Structure 1
Amino acid sequence: MPRPRREDAQDTRALALGAARDLLHQYGYLGVSMDAVAERVHVRKASLYHHFPEGKEQLVLLIADEAISEGSEGIAQAIGAHTSARRRLIAIATYIFSGTVQIGRVLRDALRFMPEDHQRRVYEQFYRQHYLQVLRVMDEGVETGELRPHDTGRSAWAFLDLASEMGSGGEAHRDAELAAWIVGLMLDGLGNRAAGIKEPHGRQGDPARPGSLGLANLADPASRSQE
Structure 2
Amino acid sequence: MPRPRKEDARDTRELVLAAASALLHEYGYLGVSMDAVAERVGVRKASLYHHFPGGKEQVVLELAERAIGRDAAGFARAIRDHMTARARLTAIATYVFSGPVQTGRVVRDALRFLPQEHQTHVFDLFSRLNYLQIRQVIEDGVASGELRPHDSERSAWAFLDLVSEMGSGGETPRDASLATWIAALLIDGLGA
| TM-score > 0.5 by shorter chain | yes
Q: Is the 8 A contact 1:21 1:101 kept in 2?
A: no
Of residues 125-134 and 18-27 in structure 1, the stretch that sits farther from structure 2 once superposed is 18-27
Gaps of 5+ in 2: none
Aligned residue number for residue 122 of structure 2: 122
Higher helix share: 2
Q: Is the 8 A contact 1:96 1:102 kept in 2?
A: no
> Secondary structure at 1:148's aligned position in 2?
coil
Structure 2 residue 70 is matched with structure 1 residue 105: no
Aligned residue number for residue 134 of structure 1: 134
The separation in 2 between residues aligned to 1:145 and 1:118, in whole angstroms, is: 39
The separation in 1 between residues aligned to 2:107 and 2:81, in whole angstroms, is: 27
| Cα distance, 1:2 vs structure 2 | 3.3
Structure 2 residue 45 is matched with structure 1 residue 45: yes
The separation in 2 between residues aligned to 1:146 and 1:98, in whole angstroms, is: 27
Q: Is the 8 A contact 2:101 2:169 kept in 1?
A: no
Aligned residue number for residue 79 of structure 1: 79
The separation in 2 between residues aligned to 1:168 and 1:122, in whole angstroms, is: 19
The separation in 1 between residues aligned to 2:146 and 2:103, in whole angstroms, is: 28
The separation in 2 between residues aligned to 1:101 and 1:181, in whole angstroms, is: 19
Q: CA RMSD in A?
A: 1.3
Structure 2 residue 12 is matched with structure 1 residue 12: yes
Aligned residue number for residue 56 of structure 1: 56
Of residues 128-137 and 14-23 in structure 1, the stretch that sits farther from structure 2 once superposed is 14-23
| Cα distance, 1:191 vs structure 2 | 2.7
Q: Is the 8 A contact 1:25 1:100 kept in 2?
A: no
The separation in 1 between residues aligned to 2:178 and 2:127, in whole angstroms, is: 24
Question: Identity over aligned residues, as a percent?
Answer: 67
The separation in 2 between residues aligned to 1:130 and 1:97, in whole angstroms, is: 15
The structure, 1 or 2, with the larger RCO (C-alpha pairs under 8 Å, 6+ apart) is: 2
Gaps of 5+ in 1: 193-227
| Cα distance, 1:101 vs structure 2 | 4.8
TM-score when normalising by structure 1: 0.81
| Cα distance, 1:100 vs structure 2 | 1.7
Aligned residue number for residue 211 of structure 1: none
> Secondary structure at 2:191's aligned position in 1?
coil
Runs of 4+ in structure 1 deviating by more than 3 angstroms, as ranges, are none
Q: Which residue identity lines up with residue 110 of structure 1 in the other structure?
A: A
Q: Is the 8 A contact 2:78 2:91 kept in 1?
A: yes
Q: Is the 8 A contact 1:111 1:119 kept in 2?
A: yes
Pick the structure with greater CA Rg: 1
The separation in 2 between residues aligned to 1:54 and 1:152, in whole angstroms, is: 38
Q: Is the 8 A contact 1:97 1:174 kept in 2?
A: yes
The separation in 1 between residues aligned to 2:13 and 2:41, in whole angstroms, is: 10
Q: Which residue identity lines up with residue 134 of structure 2 in the other structure?
A: V
